[in-house]
Amino acid sequence: MSLLINNSEYRYIEIAQAVFQEQFKRDPKLELEMDERRKRLMYDDVVYNISFLMTAVSLKDERVFTEYAKWIYELLCNLMKDLDRDRIMEHMVGHYQILSEIFKKKARGMVSEEDIELSARYLSSAIESTRASVTDITLSSNFSEGSNYEIRKAYLEHLLKGETRKAQDLIEETRKQGVPLVEIYESILARTMVEIGSLWHRNIITVEKEHYATSVTQTIMSSFYDEIFASPRKNKSLLSCTVGTELHEMGIRMLSDIFEYRGWDTYYMGAALPREALIRSIEEHKPDLVALSVTMPIYLVDCREIVSSIRERYPDIKIAVGGQAFDYTSDIWKVWGVDFYSEKATDLVRLAEEEFR
């Protein structure tokens, strides 16, 4: 039923078990539709849904959960093709209704009354968005818009066909034709990888294919390093990483490369850097700017707490946040005390260079 496994919210296990059991009591058709494998995955989903709900409640951002509800609905429609969209909607609506009822009964003493009220409201919104999604089957991206579309399309096709050499040759030829390195990063590589992620979310490609595309793109990026590190220095430094246990590092690695290309000294710390290690790295390198990336919304709480820790320990260091997770929020970064937020790496470089002129 799902590819998602959550290991972080053990305190909600009793609630998850109650929701899971109640759903089978109220919906007898589930016994016919769910074999043992699907039942196991369904239970994992219940735990994960609660974790995502509490992420939204903690951030006080309803959109975090409603956007997740739309995504999980479409994912299930792709995974459970033996059921129609109406039936899966019925299943998810029933799930959210039961979760709301049981959460009110069992969460008292675990969370505040305000959080219980917020969870009920967010679950109600999730029900509305799921019902609306039944007829909203047009899934599209901005992949075809803007410059370099034909190159971007060809690169995507090579990745989907597993044509590693052709993908590498295409980007190499594009550079030889005079397309700027930063434009290749943002207009071709980054936008293609966003589309790859979308294809995986829509269950059109497997996670293995997504990992392959990431590996090929990282190899291509490394081929530019001689040029990137040859740029004149500006005596400014950037420290960058993903937060929590976030493993999606492509975006923050591209950001670091672009800063390095523009003459900054960069300390790219990679994925899933623990908070204590990040603090030690800041103490060691004393960067002018710290950039934090979040791709999955569930790690936004970690990002907020890390921003708070950095601000408390190093009030003079500038902080930037970004990543796809913020696309599904109501600009929550504005209340975190960060200095910069940008959807594009080049825009963040421009803002930073204006700040440090």
Tokens 């951002």, residue located: 61
Mean pLDDT, range 174-194, rounded to an integer = 95
**Least confident interval from 83-97, 225-239, 250-264, 338-352:** 83-97
Cα angle vertex 297, ends 240, 66, to 5°? 160
Residue 155, pLDDT above cutoff 70: yes
Q: What is the pLDDT of residue 63?
A: 95
Give the angle subtended at the CA of 141 by the CAs of 78 and 220, to the nearest 5°.
100
Domains of the chain plus CATH, in order, are 10-133 (1.10.490), 149-223 (1.10.1240.10), 232-355 (3.40.50.280)
Q: What is the pTM for the complete model shown?
A: 0.76
Residue 154 reports pLDDT greater than 70? yes
Banded model confidence at residue 157, pLDDT cuts 50, 70, 90: confident
Which residues does residue 289 pair with via DSSP β-bridges, in sequence order? 238, 318
pLDDT band at 9 (very low <50, low <70, confident <90, very high): low
Residue 2 has pLDDT above 60, yes or no: no
Both tokens of residue 45?
Answer: 């989903």
Is pLDDT at 238 greater than 70 in this prediction? Answer: yes
CA distances from 48 to 56, 69, 219, 304 (A): 13, 12, 33, 20
Residue 340, strand partner residues: 320
CA distances from 116 to 58, 119, 213, 249 (A): 11, 5, 41, 34
pLDDT at 351 over 90: yes
Residue 226: its pLDDT value, please? 93
Give the pLDDT of residue 7. Answer: 41
Q: What are phi and psi of 276, to 5 degrees?
A: -65, -40
Distances (CA, A) of 258 to 2, 201, 208, 322: 36, 27, 28, 15
The Cα 244–Cα 247 span in angstroms is 9
Q: pLDDT tens digit string along 241-267? A: 999 888 889 999 999 999 999 999 999
Looking at 231-287, list the stretches that DSSP marks H as alpha helix, in order from N- to C-terminal side: 250-261, 275-285
- Amino acid, single-letter form, for residue 68: Y
pLDDT tens-digit readout, 120-142: 999 999 999 998 887 654 434 57
